[in-house]
Structure 1
Amino acid sequence: MRQSLATFAPADAPSVPLHAISADGLATWLDQQPERVRTWLNATGFSAAAGETLCVPDVAGEVSMAVFGLGGAKARARRRMALGAARKKLPRGSYHLAGGFDVEELPEQALGWLLAGYSFDRFRHRSADELPLAMLKAPAGIDAGRVSILAAAEWLTRDLINTPASQMGPEELETTLLALAEEFGAHVSVTYGDDLLQENFPLIHAVGRASDRIPRLLDLRWGDSGPRITLVGKGVCFDTGGLDIKPAASMGLMKKDMGGAATVMGLAMMIMALGWKVRLRLLIPAVENAISGSAMRPGDVLTARNGLTVEVNNTDAEGRLVLADALALACEESPDALICMATLTGAARVALGPDLPPFYTDDEDLALALSDGAAVEADPLWRMPFHAPYESLIEPGIADLDNAPGGGMAGSITAALFLRRFVTPGTRFAHFDIYGWQPKDEPGRPKGGQGQAARAVLWALPEVLGPGIEGGA
């Protein structure tokens, strides 16, 4: 029942027309309607305000049409996936869009509708009557299969982030990845516990060794031809801060600290489901940053996989450590594109807020493609610089690198510069400092776990690697 809400209504199902109407176009639209429709909407005070939704009865009292307000020009400019707001306000049944959007807007609006059907119900008992069952037929002119794949992948990402850490540790993250691999015929290898030291992943081991939940590196491979695309996601399944323990207010959302891993898993699902002609690799260092006698200490100096030494000046800056080993591994086979996603810094939120993730890249073609993809896919991003003068901030003096420069400034940039030290120069690389959480309900984006940047990356990669990588679902 639940997963069916991430798909479109059958094309042959009886359906009710759903009219999307702007506030400035309401009068013209009403002039074209039968008198009973005009009378009903005038009597109910329908003004086509943003998100306003109303059903219009026929002479027998049955729903003959539904109307949905888009608001004025200012409201439309501020709202993406506006149609998602209608889904939970409409009664059960099937609907079809009967105007209101330009053709190029339809994929975004259809995706917003599907994403609005999401709710995290794992621990909540709900009857069938409580489920939102309004369904939409795929609008003509869209790639309904692609939109459905994007929705299903986002549902996966949201489920992973929303699941409490007690039920989503490194082992459960591995189990989910194994299920995804089985679905698409991918292969997964895993390096566990002390084997991380034997296989030269010392930073991943150092972060995860204090927990009784065994740290691991998850390595998925799919596809045997085409460009190499490697995705790396931060999989810190809970972050206490380590010995530099977080205050309670900062620890409350730390189940989402594996949001980077959840997002790249969703992105990998999109690529595999769409049948791209690529050699896909997905690397997830899955750990819990806990506190015990074996925890790494402030002031410890660690040697990373690529030989660089790192002074640990804050055990709460652990995400960049586990990513460092994974990025170094990724570069050993020279990928054609390397994408890193992580819920990495509070500084990114201070600079850009929860809804606008920064990304970092030295590749101008990739930067342009990501900016274009963010607009096309309604997946906003903002480019930030690898600012060379700040390199000295991540060099502590007694080691090659400092994982947590003091001073409190440029925290997202210095974290990105740190990660770049583990990427082979010349690699087409982009790092995304995402939040992974929606603070309040918005159309298509209910409060809770949230994928960010995946759709923009999906759009951008064929632009830089060539459209030939795109296959048929």
Structure 2
Amino acid sequence: MESVFVDESPAAVELIPVTPESLHAALEGRPARYARWARATGFTGEAGGVLQIAGDQGELEAVLVGYDVDQPLWMLAAAAGSLPGGDYRLQEAGLTAEAIERAAVGWGLGSYRFRRYRSEPPTDDTPVRLIWPDGVNRERVTSMVAAIGHTRDLINTAPADLMPGELAAEAEDLAERHGGAARVVADPDEVARDWPCIHAVGRASEHHPRVIELTWGPEDAPPVVLVGKGVCFDSGGLNIKPDSAMRQMKKDMGGAATALGLADLIMRAGLAVRLTVLIGAVENAVGSRSFRPGDVLSTRSGRTVEIDNTDAEGRLVLADLLDRAGELEPALVVDFATLTGAARVAVGHEIAAFFASDDAWAAALEEPARAWDDPVWRLPLHAPYRHMLESDVADVVNASSGGQAGAITAALFLQDFVPAETPWLHFDIMAFNTRARPGRPKGGEAMGLRAVFAALEARFGRVR
């Protein structure tokens, strides 16, 4: 973070935010070459546009940045990702304090790079840095950027380098950094006894399953539980995926990464909650010990599940975790999972589908999702579809037949393991950008994180 923000710089280049409507006024009183260059290049002030303007000696003198006044978060994101190394200062006139702070977050997100596997150093290693705008809450900005960057890093990491053991180590490190505690269940016999579905999903892999429980915060604070699907790689099991569907399955632990990223932000901010994070870390592999279509599994709650499809494994992992979450009598449970292709069909890749058992919590997401450009969309927990999960031999089947309403039936399956009185949000997310946009590079993404954090902050406040 130190490399993308700086306290002061005598040679900083001015960043001038403009819109199509304000471009003319912004250029008045400036050298005529600014307007001539804008006309010559076709720069109109549209959001995401960046225009570099040279001085009399050919040096970079100023930069015009086009932005959308309704989404100031991305005001500087394109500039952070495209400008040459050096220091830059935002012209703050006419901007609200809120817009400036969000623009600083966007600068940080636009500066994100995942270079773990690059052997060549960057061609220009001069940092691109923003001078801290006046009055910005620096801790809030750096916390948001760091938490989202950590989430992206986890999702982008190659699966061979982030199997259940490594994911558990990430959680342990996070807890230690923030003065929390992490308990990891790694013994295969203990997992099999106490977390039977997690064991069944992960037992074919040489990378034994882990159950992770991270705790933090005052014991007398309202309990909030985050649950994450941590399938570190998903082959589909015996219902093996085709090549095209398996290619990006390193992201199938995106729910766990998002839960850890959100936990990081909650702990950095000091929210007044008793936080618990529950993650089932597994690899859904193919082998002689794989669970099978037609098997009947017992869950942690005692309910039995007939297996229709071994590629519907994430809901089995979550079933055990949600049962544990209910034991904590939480004020709220939020789970994140890359659960169904049906959710992608419903809302596409760039919106986080979610389900809610509590209307007030669903409504609480609307404003922060808009303000932080973290789009979410509520899908219905339509109880009549529960018939699609009926089994002839067990309490429930893990995947509905017929291919209809797949995201809804998956959510209804999970609802069976959440106490009826517990407020619950279930996020069925992509966790991956399939195209690059300013501040949102192609690759792992923390979908829903900003919206949920802002809703939690508004509801519970901060200890400090």
Into which bin does the TM-score normalised by the smaller protein fall? Answer: over 0.9
1:462 CA drift (Å) = 3.4
Aligned to 1:54: 51
Distance 2:249 2:27 in 1: 50
1:139 CA drift (Å) = 2.7
Q: Pick one of 173, 180, 205 that aligns with 1:211.
A: 205
Deviates more, 1:102-111 or 1:227-236: 102-111
Distance 2:73 2:279 in 1: 31
How far does the alpha carbon of each residue in 1:56-86 deviate from its partner, in whole angstroms, 9 at most, with x for none? Answer: 233343332211233xxxx776996242111
2:134 alignment partner, SS class: coil
The one-letter code of the counterpart of 1:185 is G
TM-score, normalised relative to structure 1: 0.93
Distance 1:24 1:224 in 2: 50
The one-letter code of the counterpart of 1:4 is E
How far does the alpha carbon of each residue in 1:102-139 deviate from its partner, in whole angstroms, 9 at most, with x for none? Answer: 44333332212111111111110243543472211233
Deviates more, 1:289-298 or 1:372-381: 372-381
Determine if the alignment matches structure 1 residue 246 to structure 2 residue 241.
yes
Q: Pick one of 85, 88, 98 that aligns with 1:92.
A: 85
1:409 alignment partner, SS class: coil
The one-letter code of the counterpart of 2:139 is G
Q: Pick one of 18, 23, 26 that aligns with 1:26.
A: 23
1:337 CA drift (Å) = 1.2
Determine if the alignment matches structure 1 residue 314 to structure 2 residue 309.
yes
Deviates more, 1:202-211 or 1:363-372: 363-372
Determine if the alignment matches structure 1 residue 471 to structure 2 residue 463.
yes
Deviates more, 1:173-182 or 1:48-57: 48-57
Q: Pick one of 394, 397, 404 that aligns with 1:402.
A: 397
Shift in CA distance, 54/400, structure 1 to aligned 2, threshold 3 Å: same
The answer on whether the counterparts of 2:71 and 2:371 sit within 8 Å (CA) in structure 1 is no
Q: Pick one of 132, 136, 153 that aligns with 1:159.
A: 153
The answer on whether the counterparts of 1:80 and 1:443 sit within 8 Å (CA) in structure 2 is no
Determine if the alignment matches structure 1 residue 125 to structure 2 residue 122.
no
How far does the alpha carbon of each residue in 1:379-434 deviate from its partner, in whole angstroms, 9 at most, with x for none? Answer: 11001111111111112232111111111111001111111110011101100001
Shift in CA distance, 303/125, structure 1 to aligned 2, threshold 3 Å: same
The answer on whether the counterparts of 1:87 and 1:132 sit within 8 Å (CA) in structure 2 is no
Aligned residues: 461
Distance 1:44 1:224 in 2: 57
The one-letter code of the counterpart of 2:206 is D
Aligned to 2:143: 149
1:147-226 equivalences under 5 Å are 147-192=141-186, 193-198=188-193, 200-225=194-219, 226=221
Distance 1:292 1:105 in 2: 53
1:230 alignment partner, SS class: strand
Deviates more, 1:218-227 or 1:23-32: 23-32
Distance 2:200 2:349 in 1: 30
1:315 alignment partner, SS class: coil
Alignment RMSD: 2.0
How far does the alpha carbon of each residue in 1:228-255 deviate from its partner, in whole angstroms, 9 at most, with x for none? Answer: 1111000000001011111111100100
Shift in CA distance, 411/44, structure 1 to aligned 2, threshold 3 Å: closer
1:206 CA drift (Å) = 0.5
How far does the alpha carbon of each residue in 1:277-333 deviate from its partner, in whole angstroms, 9 at most, with x for none? Answer: 321111110000011111111011111111111111000000000110011011112
Q: Pick one of 61, 65, 68 that aligns with 1:64.
A: 61
Distance 1:394 1:279 in 2: 34
The answer on whether the counterparts of 2:251 and 2:444 sit within 8 Å (CA) in structure 1 is yes
The one-letter code of the counterpart of 1:316 is D
Deviates more, 1:276-285 or 1:152-161: 276-285
1:40-439 equivalences under 5 Å are 40-70=37-67, 81-99=74-92, 101-127=95-121, 129-131=123-125, 133-192=127-186, 193-198=188-193, 200-225=194-219, 226-439=221-434
The answer on whether the counterparts of 1:117 and 1:132 sit within 8 Å (CA) in structure 2 is no
1:50 CA drift (Å) = 3.5
Shift in CA distance, 49/333, structure 1 to aligned 2, threshold 3 Å: closer
TM-score, normalised relative to structure 2: 0.94
- Please list every run of 5 or more consecutive structure 1 residues that lacks an aligned counterpart in the other structure: none
The answer on whether the counterparts of 2:72 and 2:103 sit within 8 Å (CA) in structure 1 is no
How far does the alpha carbon of each residue in 1:17-76 deviate from its partner, in whole angstroms, 9 at most, with x for none? Answer: 100111232222222323343444445553334433223233343332211233xxxx77
1:307 alignment partner, SS class: coil
The one-letter code of the counterpart of 1:471 is V
The answer on whether the counterparts of 1:111 and 1:148 sit within 8 Å (CA) in structure 2 is yes
The answer on whether the counterparts of 2:86 and 2:126 sit within 8 Å (CA) in structure 1 is no
Deviates more, 1:30-39 or 1:171-180: 30-39
2:373 alignment partner, SS class: coil
1:141 CA drift (Å) = 4.2
Distance 1:27 1:395 in 2: 64
Shift in CA distance, 309/44, structure 1 to aligned 2, threshold 3 Å: closer
